[in-house]
């Protein structure tokens, strides 16, 4: 019979794990991104632990463990509630697949720090020290944090050759924290830009998505372009380097497909504002967008084009149908970012239409089954009849089922 586990907040759970490892005679620290975030006074998303205990020794000290990469010295411990990653100090062998080391050798904290990507991610913290925040820094990460610098650990080209996704990670960190990428690291990113083509579109898409949901997205996009990674990611030549549209999106937006649509417009202009645009289709493939993300990205671009080009000429039913599209909200934001000051946004008109007593998308007064009962035969004209009745409902020409059914009979006769 399993004992009840003590459920603790993530940081407290990590401390209990460290204390248990210490009682077992091992060294253990908080490691990586959580240390960086605590120094920056940012709430970490999770807490990772590094130790000189091997996976087998870790499993022997805790009751609820799972191997998520024992060959690389990584275990999950759940004894105190949250799943906490516990990794053995290690050095890495060659990265023949440009993602994971072919082999690892368990080592010391200092050697473990030296194999990490950036100095700000290579520090350790002892939360059991008297002040609870003793930093163990073998690579100058604390100084780089203070100076707001993103720097590769060791020789930048070697770090990037191990995994060129680190180029995008450097950009994401620099943008998110308001840091600069130190010159040698930036030069290596540009020099090895073509190597990004060997990284899977899934991993590239994840990094770009993470950049786009954060308010720092204009800075991230600017770095992607200025360091020469954009051509590898998106294909083709950059037509316009400015990021006016992306910059004008409201900061609070966390809609990655909408932000990507703004970036695409910055790069290619109004030609991108079509659902079937070749560039838009290419972006969907190159970033491995899900079906939902693709529909959002393409839909926002397409509806934005309709708002800009055709809204002024649309009648009320067309306007209501357009404004009822699930991507119309994003398209409005994109249009307002694209268009110059003084442009008559459809937003106020849509607000009035929504409050006209009919609404933007009321339930139809007549359904397909009702048409059949009235004598209509399914065929090419069937949807046109339904659309005609619904248009009349949207503009208030009919407002009850009796009137709608009467119109239906008329339209059925016309299409007989």
How sure is the predictor about 342, in pLDDT bands with cuts at 50, 70 and 90?
confident
| 378-404 confidence digits (pLDDT tens) | 888 899 999 999 999 999 999 999 999
Instruction: Kindly tell me if the per-residue pLDDT of 237 is higher than 90.
Output: no
Instruction: Kindly tell me if the per-residue pLDDT of 98 is higher than 70.
Output: no
| 308-338 confidence digits (pLDDT tens) | 999 999 999 999 999 999 999 999 999 999 9
230 belongs to a structural domain: no
| Token reading at 107 | 């080592």
Domain-ending residue, one of 141, 164, 194: 141
Q: What letter does residue 163 receive in the DSSP assignment? A: -
C-beta of residue 195 within 8 angstroms of C-beta of residue 155: no
Tell me the DSSP string of 75-127. EEE-TTSS-EEEEE-EEE---TTSSS-S-EEE--HHHHHHTSSBGGGS-EEET
203 belongs to a structural domain: yes
Q: Check which CATH number belongs to the domain holding 155 and give it.
A: 1.10.110.30
Indicate whether 23 and 110 sit together in one domain.
Answer: yes
Q: Give the contacts of 41 (CB within 8 A, at least 6 positions apart).
A: none
Instruction: Kindly tell me if the per-residue pLDDT of 2 is higher than 60.
Output: no
Provide the domain limits for residue 106. 1-141
390 belongs to a structural domain: yes
Q: What integer pLDDT is reported at residue 279 of this predicted model?
A: 76
How sure is the predictor about 63, in pLDDT bands with cuts at 50, 70 and 90?
very high
Q: What integer pLDDT is reported at residue 277 of this predicted model?
A: 65
Indicate whether 297 and 204 sit together in one domain.
Answer: no
Indicate whether 66 and 165 sit together in one domain.
Answer: no
C-beta of residue 120 within 8 angstroms of C-beta of residue 141: yes
Instruction: Kindly tell me if the per-residue pLDDT of 343 is higher than 60.
Output: yes
Indicate whether 24 and 80 sit together in one domain.
Answer: yes
Q: Check which CATH number belongs to the domain holding 123 and give it.
A: 3.30.460.10
Domain-ending residue, one of 291, 313, 346: 346
pTM above 0.85, yes or no: yes
Q: What integer pLDDT is reported at residue 1 of this predicted model?
A: 34
How sure is the predictor about 3, in pLDDT bands with cuts at 50, 70 and 90?
low
Distance CA 110, CA 91 (A): 10
361 belongs to a structural domain: no
Indicate whether 283 and 317 sit together in one domain.
Answer: yes
Dihedral of CA atoms 130, 133, 139, 140 in degrees, nearest 10, equals -110
Instruction: Kindly tell me if the per-residue pLDDT of 101 is higher than 90.
Output: no
Write down the residue that tokens 């119309």 correspond to.
328
44 belongs to a structural domain: yes
What integer best gives the mean pLDDT of the chain? Answer: 93
Q: What integer pLDDT is reported at residue 118 of this predicted model?
A: 98
Q: What is the largest CA-CA distance in the chain?
A: 90
222 belongs to a structural domain: no
Our count of domains for the chain comes to 4
Q: How far is CA 248 from CA 334, 353, 403, in A?
A: 9, 27, 47
| 289-302 confidence digits (pLDDT tens) | 999 999 999 999 99
> In the predicted model, what is the mean pLDDT of residues 64-71?
87
Indicate whether 130 and 159 sit together in one domain.
Answer: no
Indicate whether 64 and 86 sit together in one domain.
Answer: yes
Instruction: Kindly tell me if the per-residue pLDDT of 68 is higher than 80.
Output: yes
Q: What integer pLDDT is reported at residue 331 of this predicted model?
A: 97
255 belongs to a structural domain: yes
| 7-56 confidence digits (pLDDT tens) | 999 999 999 999 999 999 999 999 999 999 999 999 999 999 999 999 99
| 150-207 confidence digits (pLDDT tens) | 999 999 999 999 999 999 999 999 999 999 999 999 999 999 999 999 999 999 999 9
Indicate whether 114 and 191 sit together in one domain.
Answer: no
Domain-ending residue, one of 116, 141, 166: 141
> In the predicted model, what is the mean pLDDT of residues 71-96?
90
Q: What letter does residue 94 receive in the DSSP assignment? A: -
Indicate whether 131 and 62 sit together in one domain.
Answer: yes
Q: What integer pLDDT is reported at residue 208 of this predicted model?
A: 98
Indicate whether 2 and 123 sit together in one domain.
Answer: yes
Indicate whether 20 and 120 sit together in one domain.
Answer: yes
Indicate whether 116 and 159 sit together in one domain.
Answer: no
291 belongs to a structural domain: yes
Cα torsion angle, 11, 214, 165, 189, sign: negative
Q: What integer pLDDT is reported at residue 4 of this predicted model?
A: 64
């Amino acid at each position: 019979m399993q004992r009840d586990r003590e459920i603790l907040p993530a940081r407290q759970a990590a401390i209990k794990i460290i204390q248990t490892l210490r009682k077992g005679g091992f060294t253990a620290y908080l490691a990586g991104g959580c240390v960086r975030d605590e120094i920056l006074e940012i709430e970490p998303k999770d807490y990772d632990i590094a130790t000189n205990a091997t996976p087998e020794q870790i499993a022997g000290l805790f009751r609820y463990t799972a191997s998520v990469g024992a060959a690389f010295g990584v275990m999950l411990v759940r004894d105190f509630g949250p799943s906490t990653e516990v990794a053995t100090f290690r050095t890495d062998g060659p990265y023949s697949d440009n993602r994971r080391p072919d082999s690892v050798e368990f080592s010391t904290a200092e050697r473990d720090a030296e194999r990490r990507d950036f100095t700000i991610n290579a520090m350790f913290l002892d939360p059991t020290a008297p002040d609870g925040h003793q930093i163990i820094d073998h690579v100058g990460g604390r100084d780089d944090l203070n100076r707001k610098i993103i720097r590769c650990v060791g020789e930048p080209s070697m770090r990037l050759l191990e995994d060129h996704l680190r180029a995008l990670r450097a950009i994401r960190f620099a943008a998110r924290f308001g840091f600069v990428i130190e010159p040698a690291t930036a030069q290596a990113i540009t020099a090895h830009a073509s190597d990004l083509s060997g990284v899977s579109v899934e991993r590239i898409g994840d990094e770009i998505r993470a950049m786009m949901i954060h308010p720092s997205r204009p800075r991230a996009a600017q770095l992607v372009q200025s360091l020469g990674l954009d051509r590898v990611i998106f294909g083709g030549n950059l037509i316009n380097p400015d990021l006016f549209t992306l910059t004008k999106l409201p900061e609070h937006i966390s809609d990655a497909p909408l932000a990507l649509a703004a970036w695409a417009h910055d790069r290619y202009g109004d030609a991108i504002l079509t659902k079937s645009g070749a560039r838009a289709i290419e972006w969907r493939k190159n970033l491995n967008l899900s079906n939902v993300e693709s529909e959002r990205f393409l839909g926002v671009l397409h509806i934005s084009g309709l708002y800009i080009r055709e809204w002024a000429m649309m009648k009320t039913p067309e306007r209501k149908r357009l404004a009822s599209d699930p991507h119309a909200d994003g398209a409005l934001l994109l249009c307002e970012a694209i268009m110059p000051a003084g442009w008559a946004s459809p937003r106020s008109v849509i607000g009035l239409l929504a409050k006209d007593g009919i609404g933007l998308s009321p339930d139809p007064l007549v359904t397909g089954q009702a048409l059949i009962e009235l004598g209509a035969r399914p065929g090419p004209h069937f949807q046109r009849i339904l659309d005609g009745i619904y248009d009349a409902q949207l503009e208030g020409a009919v407002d009850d089922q009796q009137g709608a059914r009467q119109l239906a009979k008329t339209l059925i006769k016309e299409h007989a």
